[in-house]
Amino acid sequence: MPPGSTPMVAILLITHSRSGPKLVFHYPSEPRLPSCGNAGDAADSGNADGDIWNGNGSVARLRRGSYGDGEVVRSTEASPTKNANDYAADGKVLGISVDSLEKLLSPGRWCDRKKFEVCLDGLTFVSYPVYADPEGKWSRSHERGTDARLKDRPTTPRNASGTQFADQHRIDNEREPGIIITEPTSAKSIQDFAHVPDSLDSRGGLSLGNSENSGSTASAFGPEPLTAFHVVFALSTSSKQHEITEEVYEQLAKKLSKALAYCQKQSSYVGVENRRLSQIQAKSKQDGTSSQIPCSEMVENSELASALGVIYDKVCVGAVAAFHLNGIEMSLQLHHSEREDASAFIDRHFTVLLLEDRDDVLRGLSHPEASPLAYFIREHTPTKSLQKQATKLGIPVNNLIYLAQHLVRWQKARAIAPLHSRNTYIVGRGAPLDHLETHISAYAKRFAGLPSLPQMLKVLGGRPVKYGLLIPSRDHQGPYMDMLAYLIRHKFVERLETSGWLQAPPVLLKKPMVNDEPNKNRRPISVASLLSPQLRPIEDDDTASISSERTAIPVSIMDTIRRPDSATQTMSPVLSADPPTTRMVKDPLNSTDVDIVCLEHIREAVEDEDLRERLPSLYPYFDGDGALEDIAAREGLKRSTVDGWLDLLQKDGFLLTFRHV
Amino acid sequence: MLEAVFYARFHPERGPSVIHQYPEASILSATPKDSKLLDFSDISSWVIPAYELCNRSLAVCTNGHRILGFPVSLENESYERTRFTYNVCFVLSEDADPRQWDSVVSKTAAFFTDIEQADGLLQAEEQLDGLKWAGEESYPAEDVGFVYTLLETIFCELNAYGEACVQVADSQVLNLRLAVPVPATSHVRAWDVPLLIRGLPNADEWTSDLALQRIQAYVNGINHIHRIAELADMEIKLVVKTVQELLRHKRVMLLDIFHFNAIYTLTIDFAWFAKDEAMQQECSRYVAKPTSIAIEHQTLVTLYRNLGPGISVRDFYSSHKTQLEHIDIRRFITFGVIKGFVRRIHKYALAVDSQSIPARNSLSDGSPTKAQPGLDSDAERDRAWRKAAFSSGWATPPPEPGANGQDLEAVQRRTPPLVEVEDESRDVSLVRKYLDGRHCMDEICVALHLSEQQVLNQLRGSDVLFFDK
């Protein structure tokens, strides 16, 4: 199961009329059943053991269908193909006869606009049933739904800044036409509804104008008006069953059903589609054609069926499903909670990296030439932070953050630290080596004449170097940064980050630290090894550090309880007289008095004036967590200046860094 | 937390009916003022579903509750309408994790089926004089029937202890226990190194797992799975399965193969190590050589921070020889890996000539048992022979005459000569299979019984590039 996907098995559309529930459509035509009860752990070869271990042995016996009714219950050996054949042969869906399935999935009015969830032996069905009012009318009773839609509209800076956008860019932003990748609840859907050309002939007579009468319109379509409908999502049981069911309910079932309820209220949409699908079903039954044909025919002829198909196909691979309902554009996707958290806020010092080609993203917009989003996409560059881009484009940064979040939420972009040639990038853990061949050719096509993907992997997968050193000339800067964007986008490489702490070497601490130091028996740390960013402690030309290197071993021997070596004992009295040690400021934000003294000493010892002045504002970055590479962007300083300062601090032994990925 | 438990059946005249429930007024009650958990009529068609849906677990949610059931439908001439359909349902909060209840529900259903099929107790219960049905006045009738008491015991004991034991007849005892959620099994590969992080029970008392008994001596944080299989003279998939079981119980964790060509880097968690004195103390004790002295904490921090991409353990060791004098370098690295602030960077090989990259499916990298080394005829013959020996119960001959099969050195000594006599060209073709950039060097080495240097030697001159990931 790829990341971000769900264990979705099928989507079913069930409608209710006076004659009872009816399974009108399901997608795919032959749903694959999970191979066993614990489908989510299908890769788990030890499953059978697990069951036994749980004291579950009796289950197998029950499932074997040793009962009088002779019903062969889906056993663990049942293969998907067999189930598929079952369906084709005897009209079963998911191994259950259509009749039973319809009954299983027809809750009463108690479930109207509430969560409906049934779990049947490894399959979870979840939906949000919508009922007509007790008289069978749709129009009045669902005002509530519309209210909810309005209430759900995002309350983001967008609304506040909309006019500003329009003023600045002379864009008719009233309906935000550019943002097509929008949630179903946005106001735009409602407004677009009137003018979207009807692609389906039978809906010709229905429009906003007669929506008042749509209740009676619905009844005109057949003797059995629709009393309820629900779209049921069938999921296979997985280890995270509970969370996934909740996500599917909240993000797919509920949103889709609410949208359908709106369409139904406006123009009897579900009723019309229901009738159309039933006709196709009836026709195929008459003709005696096989069961697959109506499914593809339904998808071709019914907008709703094709929408359900798109939802299934896309959600299964963790992508955004974009479709039309009654001509209204709508998008759905499953946010896994962690992803949602990640996209909740994008720092202004970050930027976004488009995950598709710029032109492809623009093509997806309904008004690519004139919308703030399109403008942002066209002008955006992953090498500049949102803050800088805002200044450049003359757009308030909060608006850019909103647009960036929108792109991230709909999987068109990913938040990243701005790309910079002074950063070091190395081959990432998640590099998609399984799809290397595809990438090699795609990359070669795109960056003809530049180093090939394998060559880049070799260079970036060796000893780490600053990316800028790979760029042969200034003219190559652009293409090389594009290459880097490609590599980052596909997760071939990631940034090697540096974090660290400020520290006061013993020399600085001699006077004030003698009393404060809790552990007096510390040996002086090898300054040489602290200084060197790479592995050159011995070659360091600082003579003091070499002497401390020499003393290191005897001192550490000295302060242990066991002193096996008499030779070192003779040295210890001399050294223990003055045992100051390097003091690291672990938490500069909650620094102790001693830490404050240390920081003050460090600041005073810094020779560069600019740095001395600026240093206190940089303290928070030296907490061991944040990347030192981000300092320049966050503080609005030149990267080369900051790098120079960090080098100075390292050279003087005031900075202890480590690199991590 | 169980909120209620009830026993319902399809009654030929009344339809789906609750016969017994515990607590007394949880589902049906005689007085309307009692607060019921749910409305039975809403869910009755899922408690007693169509026959086709019986004999498998079926749960439904309503009113904030999750009703777990296992409807059973028995067919017999003696029953009215030749069918007896019933269900023992467990009511939980909708937010509760139902997985640990699944086995309880199905086992209870199986138990009810047993007592009905063996002694007809369920049918007999309804014939008893003075039996009150759930929802009737003065329910439950005291000392009439056994089902109410049974439900009460199940309810109380499961809520109190997470397990229940009820005896109904001499030979009918119901034992229930809430299942402990079983974490998903991790993938164990031939080149993973299991390390015990909690002791195993004494091998003499631990008789149920023969495979574990056999490999226990070799699980030392140094041997990889493939070598353990060789040393213990076992099929590799048995070793994998056993280690998976140990992983599931958090007895072992998986490390990588430690060698001097390996590259390690820090993770962001290093900040945590650098700040945590207690952790450094632990590290100091763990990495110090047995006869040596305690290691300075600052030394440890300094040493660790010099690990990074592009620096092999060999480079690292030679640059910090003095500081590492009293440190066991393997334990030094392993400590970081165990604590999660050091991670291995693997080397991958990629043949630049795209024609030499085999088709995707030519080599499965999914299963360690499939991606077996040396799929040449010798290895296959050997495996076939082992398989036959295992199934027949013979002891397989030791790997080498004179060796007792437990000698690591023997295996190590044995390996290089074996390779040297192999046909050089065939070796290269064997390596070729791994050059699609999807196989790390450890995997190749383990699969081909070669050292990393030997693999590199074989590839010398060919158009292969390496990268670390």
- Report for A108-112, B201-205, B301-305: range of highest mean pLDDT: B301-305
Split at pLDDT 50, 70, 90, the class of A65 is very low
For every residue of B169-234, DSSP letters joined together read ETTEEEEEEPPPPPPPPPP--TT-EEEESSPPPPTTT--S-HHHHHHGGG-SSSS-HHHHHHHHT-
Distance of CA A34 to the CA centre of its chain: 26
Residues in chain A: 661
Residue of chain B nearest A556, judged by CA positions? B296
Would you say how long chain B is, in residues? 469
Residue A529: closest CA among A510, A503, A554, A508? A503
The sign of the CA dihedral A355, A356, A358, A364 is: negative
User: Is B320–A537 a contact, with Cβ atoms under 8 angstroms apart?
Assistant: yes
Residue B33: pLDDT band (50, 70, 90) is: low
Domain-wise residue ranges, chain A: 8-34+91-132+212-317, 36-77, 157-179+336-416, 430-484, 499-517+580-660
Q: Does B110 touch chain A (CB under 8 A)?
A: yes
Tens of pLDDT, residues A349-384 = 889 899 888 888 888 776 666 688 888 988 888 998
Q: Which residues of B touch A655 (CB under 8 A)?
A: none
For residue B426 the two structure tokens come to 């065939």
The answer to whether the beta carbons of residues B225 and B371 sit under 8 Å apart is no
Q: Are B157 and B151 in contact (CB under 8 A)?
A: no
Asked if the model's pLDDT at residue B11 lies above 70, the reply is yes
pLDDT at B215 over 50: yes
Is the CB of residue A643 less than 8 Å from the CB of residue A411? no
Return residues 196-235 of B near A (CB < 8 Å): none
Q: Which residues of chain A have a CB within 8 Å of the CB of B322?
A: 549, 552-553
Any idea where the domains of chain B sit in the sequence? 2-177, 193-255, 263-345, 349-468
The interface residues of chain A toward chain B in range 93-122, judged by CB-CB distance below 8 A, are 96-97, 99-100, 103-104, 107-108, 110-111, 115-121
Show residues of chain A in contact with B50, CB under 8 Å: 99-100, 103-104
Chain A 616-635, residues with CB within 8 Å of chain B CB atoms: 623-625
Contact A623 B271 (CB under 8 A): yes
Query: Which of A438-442, A641-645, B35-39, B79-83 is predicted least confidently?
Result: B35-39
Strand order in the sheet with B347-351: B436-440, B347-351, B464-468
A118 strand-pairing partners: A125, B60
Partner A contacted by B451 (CB < 8 A) = no
Residues of B in contact with A442 (CB under 8 A): none
> Cα torsion at B135, B141, B146, B148 (round to 10°)?
40
Helix intervals (H) in B340-449: 377-392, 408-420, 424-432, 441-448
Window 537-576 of A: residues touching B by CB (8 A cutoff) are: 537-538, 549, 552-553, 556-557, 560-562, 564
Average pLDDT of chain A to the nearest whole number:
71
* H/E element, A90: helix A80-90
At residue B60, the pLDDT reads: 93
Interface contact B363, partner A, CB < 8 A: no
pLDDT of residue B419: 42
Residue A319 or A63, more confident: A319
- Checking if the pLDDT of B318 tops 90, the result is yes
Six-digit token pair at B253? 């964790």
Selecting from B42, B73, B184 the residue whose C-beta is nearest the C-beta of A108 gives B42
From the CB of residue A550, how many other CB atoms can be counted at a distance below 10 Å? 11
Q: Which of A88-92, B322-326, B417-421 is modeled with the greatest confidence?
A: B322-326
Nearest chain A residue to B103 by CA: give it.
A56
CB contact under 8 A, A660 and B323: no
Which residues in chain A are closer than 8 Å to B109, comparing Cβ atoms?
Answer: 62
What is the pLDDT confidence band of residue A146, given thresholds at 50, 70 and 90?
very low
pLDDT tens digits for A447-461?
988 999 988 998 998
pLDDT for A216: 38
**For A245, nearest residue in chain B (alpha carbons):** B95
Quote the mean pLDDT of chain B.
82
The whole-angstrom separation of Cα B105 and Cα B90 is 7
Q: Radius of gyration of chain B from Cα atoms?
A: 32
CB pairs under 8 A between A and B: 263
pLDDT at A57 over 70: no
Banded model confidence at residue A537, pLDDT cuts 50, 70, 90 = very low
Query: In whole angstroms, what is the distance from residue A177 CA to residue A154 CA?
Result: 16
Q: With H, G, I as helix, E, B as strand and everything else as coil, classify residue A601.
A: helix
Task: Name the residue among A503, A493, A508 with its Cα closest to residue A658.
Answer: A503
Residues A70-94 have a mean pLDDT of 45
For domain B2-177, give the fold.
Answer: Beta-Lactamase (3.30.450)
How many helices, marked H, and strands, marked E, lie in chain A?
29, 16
Sorting pLDDT into bands at 50, 70 and 90, what band is B350? confident
pLDDT over threshold 50, residue A40: no
| Contact at CB, B266 and A658, closer than 8 angstroms | yes
Could B291 and A46 be called an inter-chain contact, meaning their C-beta atoms sit closer than 8 Å? no
pLDDT at B152: 93
Q: Do B352 and A454 touch (CB under 8 A)?
A: yes
* pLDDT tens by residue, B84-118: 999 999 999 988 888 889 899 999 999 999 999 88
Which 120-149 residues of chain B touch chain A by CB within 8 A? none
Residue found under tokens 């070598």: B227
Report yes or no for ipTM above 0.85: no
Name the residue in chain B with its Cα closest to that of A432.
B438
Task: Indicate the range of A292-306, A430-444, B275-289 predicted with least confidence.
Answer: A292-306
> Inter-chain contact B299–A118, Cβ cutoff 8 Å?
no
Tell me which H or E stretch contains A319: none
pLDDT recorded at residue A344: 59
